[in-house]
């Protein structure tokens, strides 16, 4: 089987990104999954067991002192070197901020064909075919690459499979990174991640709050319901703009796109741009004071009412049931 | 300082957006076509620098069908000095790779210091073209900036990440992309709209750029195979809270095995 390269993102603290399992699973459907990482010299060895458990048949480690100081360039060099050495049938990258840039630059270098934001991928008679969810899920689109190496960015949280564990063989190379053509990292400000609550992307349940919550303090209500349901916390752009929550929580056209089993919209009017980020949810619940709020047009269960009376009652009912 | 801002005409997100079922290409006849909001923010970043640094030249560049002129005129009315429109029938169905290659060809000899783009368009949402342009030009790329500070020698700012942010810089010339947190775009005033009519808007073809359409075809391109519309969502049960709605909602969630 032909090699399929998977770009594995490593956090500033050395952790393998949570997008890795889905990418390796997608690669296993297309060929032999090869995990490609860029690390500081000597730091790659600690990743072998975890990547093997996630299904990497082979690990290609590019080492460079520039990891952590030059923006994206060491990662690009690692993937370029692997693409040159391993004659891959395809390259899979997360549709993340870093991943998109690596994929974009690699596509130019290899004169490959770039497919962005796929939600699924399959091989049909040797041809790589990607599925997309376009215009907020209004369309399902299939695409392929006419010529050249197919390079795909995969939407985070879209693929839930996991590949069978493997015992990977490891190749380590030293990378030459040209600092001249690279942006330089000055400081990393990653917050301490709240591990208790599921991450928004790929969450099975999401509770989102909007401007209707009224203040940052009162937005806690959204978190309380999320915790009662075991859900991730999201928000409308209006709530983010008002400073209730960080931008990483934004659901919608210009934020995160979610497709959970359950989406609960609290105090969100449901502008078309918000609906574009959540309307493929299996079940949608909306609570809003305004009976004419457009969110009710897509809600399976809508309540015209005050979130500050309905939600506490709901939380009590959930807790009573749990006991 | 010469700043080039990349502009894309997209269907207005306030309307239903459509794809042509046969080709999977964008239906440009339904709804309103506008300059993407994120491009107006990119332009605002450039114009703020121009406001405080006289002698700065701001050029807007777009590739697209004839109707793209409207988006470029809007940018000129906001304060850009001139516009370049790449228009060529051979570009119908161009993917991100072709688009980046053509934009890079137009930028190559334009002696710019900085290219500013939006981080992703509202229609395709690919978010890859600016980085591809940078790679074609062999320049640093600083993407997804929540803020951008421009100086004579460099550009720096806060870059959005998946979990947090980081600060970074690049020496000029460089290509950057900005997020919707970067700058609130100004409105074009009447004077600006009148002045825009007299500002230069050049239309260039692939031949003018020295790009051979046959050579483009040798680059890997992504193509749409099928496009199908999903049935629209319909409203379900809607109740008015009479003091018991929280309990009713809990029952609904239990019935759906969601709690």
pLDDT tens for each residue of B91-100: 998 999 999 9
B173 pLDDT band, cuts 50/70/90, is very high
Residue (of A17, A297, A228, A110) closest to B258 by Cα position: A228
Task: Measure the CA–CA gap between A152 and A92, rounded to whole angstroms.
Answer: 5
pLDDT higher than threshold 80 for residue B218: no
Count of pairs with CB atoms under 8 A, one residue in A, one in B: 271
Would you give per-residue pLDDT tens digits along chain A (323 residues)?
Answer: 899 999 999 998 899 999 999 999 999 999 999 999 999 999 999 999 999 999 999 999 999 999 999 999 999 999 999 999 999 999 999 999 999 999 999 999 999 999 999 999 999 988 999 999 999 999 999 999 998 999 999 999 999 899 999 999 999 999 999 999 999 999 999 877 666 889 899 899 999 999 999 999 999 999 999 999 999 999 999 999 999 999 899 999 889 999 999 999 999 999 999 999 999 999 999 999 999 999 999 999 999 999 999 999 999 999 999 88
pLDDT given at position A34: 98
A196 touches B at CB < 8 Å: no
Task: Measure the CA–CA gap between B87 and B40, rounded to whole angstroms.
Answer: 21
The C-alpha angle with vertex B120 and arms to B15 and A293, in degrees rounded to 5, equals 35
Residue (of A138, A130, A94) closest to B26 by Cα position: A138
Q: Cβ distance B247 to A317 under 8 Å?
A: yes
* Among B residues 61-80, those touching chain A with beta carbons less than 8 Å apart: none
Largest CA distance in chain B: 71
pLDDT given at position A194: 60
Please give the DSSP secondary-structure letter assigned to residue A160.
Answer: -
For residue B74, the tally of other CB atoms under 10 A from its CB is: 23
| Residue A25 CA from chain centroid, whole number | 15
Cβ of B97 within 8 Å of Cβ of A108? The answer is yes
Please give the DSSP secondary-structure letter assigned to residue A259.
Answer: -
The helix or strand, by DSSP H or E, that contains position B105, with its residue range, turns out to be: helix B96-108
SS3 state at B24: coil
Q: Which residues of A245-260 are buried (b: 16+ CB within 10 A; e: fewer)?
A: bebbbbbbbbbbbbbb
Domain positions in chain A:
3-181, 205-322
Residue (of A17, A57, A274, A263) closest to A154 by Cα position: A17
Contacts of A115 in chain B (CB under 8 A): 222
Q: Which ranges of B109-205 would DSSP assign to H, the alpha helix?
A: 129-137, 190-196
Residue A33, Cβ density class (10 Å: 0-12 exposed, 13-18 middle, ≥19 buried): buried
* Among A residues 240-259, those touching chain B with beta carbons less than 8 Å apart: 247-248, 253-254
Q: Cβ distance A139 to B229 under 8 Å?
A: yes
Task: Measure the CA–CA gap between B5 and B114, rounded to whole angstroms.
Answer: 8
Q: Which residues of A190-202 are buried (b: 16+ CB within 10 A; e: fewer)?
A: eeeeeeeebbbbb
Which pLDDT tens digit goes with each residue over A111-142?
A: 999 999 999 999 998 899 999 999 999 999 99
Contacts of A229 in chain B (CB under 8 A): 258-259
The fold of A205-322 is Rossmann fold (3.40.50)
Contacts of A322 (CB under 8 A, 6+ apart): none
Cβ of A145 within 8 Å of Cβ of B38? The answer is no
Sheet holding A139-145, edge to edge: A120-124, A127-134, A139-145, B222-229
Name the residue facing B164 among A111, A185, A191 (closest C-beta).
A191
Contacts of A182 in chain B (CB under 8 A): 140, 170
Comparing alpha-carbon positions, the chain A residue that sits nearest to B20 is A139
Task: Measure the CA–CA gap between A27 and A38, rounded to whole angstroms.
Answer: 19
pLDDT given at position A208: 98
- The Cα of B55 is separated from the nearest Cα of chain A by a number of Å equal to 26
pLDDT given at position A224: 97
B194 pLDDT band, cuts 50/70/90, is very high
Task: Measure the CA–CA gap between A72 and A80, rounded to whole angstroms.
Answer: 12
CATH topology agreement for domains A3-181 and A205-322: yes
The helix or strand, by DSSP H or E, that contains position B237, with its residue range, turns out to be: strand B237-240
Specify the length of chain A in residues.
Answer: 323
* Among A residues 18-57, those touching chain B with beta carbons less than 8 Å apart: none
* Among A residues 120-149, those touching chain B with beta carbons less than 8 Å apart: 129, 134-135, 137-149
For residue A214, the tally of other CB atoms under 10 A from its CB is: 17
Do the bridges between strand B149-150 and strand B201-204 make them parallel or antiparallel, or are there none, so unpaired? unpaired
Cβ of B238 within 8 Å of Cβ of A104? The answer is no
Q: Which two tokens stand for residue B241?
A: 């809270």
Specify the length of chain B in residues.
Answer: 259
pTM for the structure as a whole: 0.94
Residue B238, Cβ density class (10 Å: 0-12 exposed, 13-18 middle, ≥19 buried): middle
Provide the Cα torsion B15, B19, B25, B30; round to 10°: -40
B250 pLDDT band, cuts 50/70/90, is very high
Distances (CA, A) of B132 to A249, B77, B156, B167, B212: 28, 29, 20, 22, 19
Domain positions in chain B:
2-216
Cβ of A116 within 8 Å of Cβ of B240? The answer is no
CATH dotted code for A3-181: 3.40.50.620
Task: Measure the CA–CA gap between B227 and B105, rounded to whole angstroms.
Answer: 31
Q: Cβ distance A258 to A277 under 8 Å?
A: yes
For residue B89, the tally of other CB atoms under 10 A from its CB is: 9
Task: Measure the CA–CA gap between B149 and B171, rounded to whole angstroms.
Answer: 12
Q: Mean per-residue pLDDT for B104-121?
A: 96
B220 touches A at CB < 8 Å: yes
- The Cα of B246 is separated from the nearest Cα of chain A by a number of Å equal to 4
* Among A residues 273-312, those touching chain B with beta carbons less than 8 Å apart: 273, 276, 279, 283-285, 287, 291, 296-306, 309-312
- Report residue A22: phi and psi, to 5°: -65, -40
Residue (of B210, B258, B155, B188) closest to B34 by Cα position: B188
B89 touches A at CB < 8 Å: no
CATH dotted code for B2-216: 3.40.50.620
Task: Measure the CA–CA gap between A277 and A252, rounded to whole angstroms.
Answer: 4
């Amino acid at each position: 089987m032909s090699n399929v390269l998977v770009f594995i993102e490593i956090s500033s603290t050395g952790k393998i990104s949570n997008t890795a399992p889905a990418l390796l699973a997608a690669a296993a459907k297309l060929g032999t999954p090869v995990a490609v990482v860029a690390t500081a010299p000597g730091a790659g060895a600690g990743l072998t067991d975890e990547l093997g458990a996630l299904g990497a048949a082979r690990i290609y480690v590019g080492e460079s002192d520039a990891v952590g100081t030059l923006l994206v360039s060491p990662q690009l060099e690692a993937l370029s070197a692997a693409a040159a050495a391993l004659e891959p049938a395809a390259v899979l990258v997360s549709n993340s901020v870093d991943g998109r840039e690596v994929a974009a630059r690699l596509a130019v270098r290899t004169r490959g064909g770039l497919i962005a934001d796929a939600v699924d991928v399959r091989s049909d008679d040797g041809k790589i075919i990607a599925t997309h969810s376009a215009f907020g899920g209004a369309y399902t689109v299939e695409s392929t690459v006419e010529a050249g190496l197919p390079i795909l960015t995969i939407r985070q949280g879209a693929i839930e499979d996991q590949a069978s564990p493997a015992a990977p063989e490891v190749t380590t190379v030293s990378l030459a990174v040209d600092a001249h053509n690279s942006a330089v990292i000055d400081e990393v400000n990653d917050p301490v991640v709240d591990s208790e609550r599921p991450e928004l992307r790929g969450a099975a349940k999401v509770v989102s709050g909007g401007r209707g919550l009224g203040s940052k303090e009162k937005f806690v209500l959204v978190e309380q319901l999320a915790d009662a349901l075991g859900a991730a916390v999201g928000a409308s752009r209006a709530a983010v703009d008002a400073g209730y929550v960080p931008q990483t929580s934004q659901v919608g056209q210009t934020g995160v796109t979610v497709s959970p089993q359950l989406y609960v919209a609290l105090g969100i009017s449901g502008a078309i741009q918000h609906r574009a980020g959540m309307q493929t949810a299996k079940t949608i619940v909306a609570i809003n004071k305004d009976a004419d709020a457009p969110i009710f047009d897509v809600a399976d269960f809508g309540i015209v009412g005050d979130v500050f009376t309905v939600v506490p009652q709901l939380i009590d009912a959930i807790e009573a049931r749990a006991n | 300082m010469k700043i080039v801002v990349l502009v894309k005409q997209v269907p207005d997100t306030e309307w239903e957006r459509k794809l042509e079922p046969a080709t999977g290409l964008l239906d440009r006849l339904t709804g309103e076509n506008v300059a993407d909001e994120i491009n107006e923010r990119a332009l605002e970043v450039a114009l703020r620098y121009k406001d405080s640094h006289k002698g700065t030249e701001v050029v807007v560049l777009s590739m697209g069908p004839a109707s793209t002129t409207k988006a470029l005129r809007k940018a000129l009315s906001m304060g850009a000095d001139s516009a370049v429109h790449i228009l060529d029938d051979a570009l119908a169905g161009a993917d991100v790779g072709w688009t980046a290659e053509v934009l890079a060809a137009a930028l190559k000899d334009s002696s710019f210091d900085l290219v500013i783009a939006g981080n992703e368009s509202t229609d395709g949402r690919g978010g890859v073209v600016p980085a591809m342009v940078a790679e074609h030009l062999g320049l640093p790329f600083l993407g997804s900036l929540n803020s951008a500070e421009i100086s004579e020698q460099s550009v720096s700012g806060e870059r959005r990440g998946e979990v947090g942010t980081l600060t970074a810089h690049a020496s000029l010339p460089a290509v950057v992309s900005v997020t919707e947190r970067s700058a609130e775009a100004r409105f074009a005033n009447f004077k600006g709209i009148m002045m825009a009519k007299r500002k230069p808007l050049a239309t260039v073809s692939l031949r003018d750029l020295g790009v051979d359409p046959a050579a483009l075809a040798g680059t890997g391109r992504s193509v749409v195979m099928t496009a199908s519309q999903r049935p629209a969502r319909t409203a379900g049960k809607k109740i008015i809270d009479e003091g018991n709605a929280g309990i009713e909602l809990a029952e609904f969630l239990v019935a759906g095995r969601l709690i």
